[in-house]
A and B are shown apart, each in its own frame.
Chain A
């Protein structure tokens, strides 16, 4: 975008736009309309777009789930054929994991991580835009398969050789493999970007142990991604080469080992489950202290247990393979390692409980969701521990008991954490509060629906209903309390109650968007730096880069200890603090400039990928576009050079604090 001249209090900053460019093509300079979004490199806009995309995929994945539950509500379901059912649960899971959960965490990370560490943007704003567009392209490729001959049908872990060309002849798996590779590149670039941001772009004084817990958990997640994504990339490449070019990696008749895929997938897959849950842990570690009006209990423990979950998470993958004939020694080793990982997780639960203990709890919707997470995640975690015991897992594996377990963790844990984040940060992002009354409806429908849906699945599973079963018959449903028909019906009813809960949220969003009422600057009496600016934040985030002295810097600027009573007394309001910052604003701020290249490059990569299905010409075309965009990118300075701007009428006071890259 632009140089922003000294923002006077209350007036909008003068925005100067670049007039020429050193790049191969003229730079985009629009600051309005759709172009502003398409070519933006602003981490906040990118964050919002991540959120919108993720929400769309949440709805798609949710509809797929409802179709699954409709099919299973009654005996001899007629809604889906066996084939469509396979596609449905595969795409449901893939969509939820890769296109909803990860991007939604990415939305929060993109938006709030720079704000929480007092930075003006991420380290590489253009790469940030590239990650978003690649993700969108990956998602489109994945879902395009529905219309181009059927979607992938091998389950979300796509075990080979079952996913090979013989057993899965449609192009569904090809689209799946390519879509995930593209989304994987997006995610890898994003994680490198965020790690560099945290390492290098912190405000002065913000040492690692003064970083907010959310930032910490996001950092751990990015490390998990950097080191686990390449492993699934290997698996995907091998499968792609087999399906498109006749390689033999999973061809058992040639002597291939079917466990190869399983290892590669789960070396990635287990870190992945922490990638899904840790952002939610980070969110509620911000929400619980704010609404309990107490600092987080045992900050260093929460941080270190998060980091150790990350590390140990790389050593337990084979617990997903207990039933595969791994051999007794391997099973024993991985069984013990898995039990060990419950310890740091338990530590966190106790930290949260002790944070609430004795606090003056304020039951907002955000807080309700956070408490919901603690309870529901604990249930899911306990059933998880029962899988770590290999003999018991052998009974449970591939039954609905597993489905119950991971939905308590994923829905009760992750999704509740994300919703808590929506309600907590909405006023920050949009300057308006979500309606709390609708929020209560949203929350209670989701809690009740969630427990009705997934609670009975424990019973179904222990009674032996297999997962991925497309139909059941009355004749074999059993009797009395354990009748499968009864519990299947309850689960299906529950899933619609759940859907209504989500609907309340969407209604809430619309109503809030229409309302004119502005949110107060600091509605929750929050604690961290992202609140030390206007809502929504200005393009340059902070008028002056804050200097950090405390963990919970914002809180400590508002409160001082009363030495007589040893209690914290409020000495300033958020508004006062922001005014102080505005008055001391930096004179001349360089922001990274928008660019065409991220979106062009991602289109090139998409074509390159599809070429493995549609042949060499498309590969050549994709490669050409990719190369062209790369050169355009390289030749274009990320912050427009001085001469790109009209001469500014500023008196030479140019203190620049520009984001890099």
Chain B
């Protein structure tokens, strides 16, 4: 049993300690995000918020949801949906001149 468990963990590439580390990083990023509300980031405000959001998203999906270690077919299913969502909705918002104002 124990050997198969070890194999399992290797397959998924993470131990409990690893997950806790990820969670700490996520918490830190969240703190940073919230701080943008109180501290003036100037022109960096939007880009930094966006980047932090994407980093958090990708970290949860890749590590907590194992997508990084799992079959590529799963990634295909999920990221196709995500990519299409980004494409159609950003395009639609663009036709509303959403990004111009």
A and B in direct contact, judged by CB atoms within 8 A: yes
With the chains together, A367 CA to B80 CA distance in Å?
Answer: 37
Interface positions of A from 18 to 57, Cβ below 8 Å from B: none
Select which of B73, B91, B92, B96 is within 8 A of A199 by beta carbon: B73
Interface positions of A from 218 to 239, Cβ below 8 Å from B: 223, 226-227, 231
Contact residues in B for A315 (Cβ distance below 8 Å): 87-88, 91
Name the residue on A nearest B84 (C-beta).
A227
Select which of B88, B96, B97 is within 8 A of A314 by beta carbon: B88
A224 CB to closest chain B CB, in angstroms? 10
Interface positions of A from 249 to 265, Cβ below 8 Å from B: 257, 259, 263
B95 CB to closest chain A CB, in angstroms? 5
Residue from the set A259, A263, A318 with the largest chain B CB neighbour count within 10 Å: A263
Whether A267 and B73, one on each chain, are in contact in the complex, defined by CB atoms closer than 8 angstroms, is no
Residue from the set B80, B87, B96 with the largest chain A CB neighbour count within 10 Å: B96
Tell me if B18 is interfacial: C-beta within 8 Å of chain A.
no
With the chains together, A488 CA to B13 CA distance in Å?
Answer: 70
Contact residues in A for B88 (Cβ distance below 8 Å): 231, 267, 314-315, 317
B41 CB to closest chain A CB, in angstroms? 31
Contact residues in B for A267 (Cβ distance below 8 Å): 88, 92
Name the residue on B nearest A192 (C-beta).
B77
Whether B95 and A314, one on each chain, are in contact in the complex, defined by CB atoms closer than 8 angstroms, is no
A194 CB to closest chain B CB, in angstroms? 14
Name the residue on B nearest A326 (C-beta).
B95
Q: Size range of the interface on B?
A: 10 to 19
Interface positions of B from 51 to 101, Cβ below 8 Å from A: 73, 80-81, 84, 87-88, 91-92, 94-97
Name the residue on B nearest A257 (C-beta).
B96
Whether A259 and B73, one on each chain, are in contact in the complex, defined by CB atoms closer than 8 angstroms, is no
With the chains together, A226 CA to B97 CA distance in Å?
Answer: 28
Contact residues in A for B96 (Cβ distance below 8 Å): 257, 259
Tell me if A330 is interfacial: C-beta within 8 Å of chain B.
yes
B73 CB to closest chain A CB, in angstroms? 7
B78 CB to closest chain A CB, in angstroms? 11
Tell me if A327 is interfacial: C-beta within 8 Å of chain B.
yes
The DSSP consensus for interface residues of chain A is helix
Name the residue on B nearest A330 (C-beta).
B95
With the chains together, A364 CA to B87 CA distance in Å?
Answer: 45
Name the residue on A nearest B88 (C-beta).
A267
Whether A314 and B73, one on each chain, are in contact in the complex, defined by CB atoms closer than 8 angstroms, is no
Whether B87 and A318, one on each chain, are in contact in the complex, defined by CB atoms closer than 8 angstroms, is no
Name the residue on A nearest B94 (C-beta).
A330
Whether A327 and B73, one on each chain, are in contact in the complex, defined by CB atoms closer than 8 angstroms, is no
Interface string of A290-326 (1 = CB under 8 A from B): 0000000000000000000000001101100000001
Contact residues in A for B80 (Cβ distance below 8 Å): 223, 227
B93 CB to closest chain A CB, in angstroms? 9
Interface string of A174-201 (1 = CB under 8 A from B): 0000000000000000000000000100
Whether B84 and A263, one on each chain, are in contact in the complex, defined by CB atoms closer than 8 angstroms, is no
Name the residue on B nearest A199 (C-beta).
B73
Name the residue on B nearest A195 (C-beta).
B77
Interface string of A570-583 (1 = CB under 8 A from B): 00000000000000
Name the residue on B nearest A196 (C-beta).
B77
Interface positions of A from 187 to 217, Cβ below 8 Å from B: 199
B88 CB to closest chain A CB, in angstroms? 5
Contact residues in A for B92 (Cβ distance below 8 Å): 263, 267
Name the residue on B nearest A324 (C-beta).
B95
Name the residue on B nearest A227 (C-beta).
B84
Contact residues in A for B81 (Cβ distance below 8 Å): 226-227
With the chains together, A199 CA to B81 CA distance in Å?
Answer: 17
Interface string of A120-160 (1 = CB under 8 A from B): 00000000000000000000000000000000000000000
With the chains together, A330 CA to B84 CA distance in Å?
Answer: 18
B30 CB to closest chain A CB, in angstroms? 28
A517 CB to closest chain B CB, in angstroms? 47
With the chains together, A634 CA to B91 CA distance in Å?
Answer: 41
With the chains together, A259 CA to B92 CA distance in Å?
Answer: 10
A249 CB to closest chain B CB, in angstroms? 14
Name the residue on B nearest A264 (C-beta).
B92
Binding site for B on A (CB under 8 A): 199, 223, 226-227, 231, 257, 259, 263, 267, 314-315, 317-318, 326-327, 330
* Given A227-B84, A317-B88, A330-B94, 7 further pairs, Cβ under 8 A: A227-B80, A231-B88, A267-B88, A314-B84, A315-B87, A315-B88, A330-B95
Binding site for A on B (CB under 8 A): 73, 80-81, 84, 87-88, 91-92, 94-97
For this complex, 22 residue pairs linking A to B, each with C-beta atoms less than 8 Å apart, are A199-B73, A226-B81, A227-B80, A227-B81, A227-B84, A231-B88, A257-B96, A259-B95, A259-B96, A263-B92, A263-B95, A267-B88, A267-B92, A314-B87, A314-B88, A315-B87, A315-B88, A317-B88, A318-B95, A326-B95, A327-B95, A327-B97
Q: Which 5 A-B pairs have the closest CB atoms?
A: A263-B92, A330-B95, A267-B88, A227-B84, A227-B81
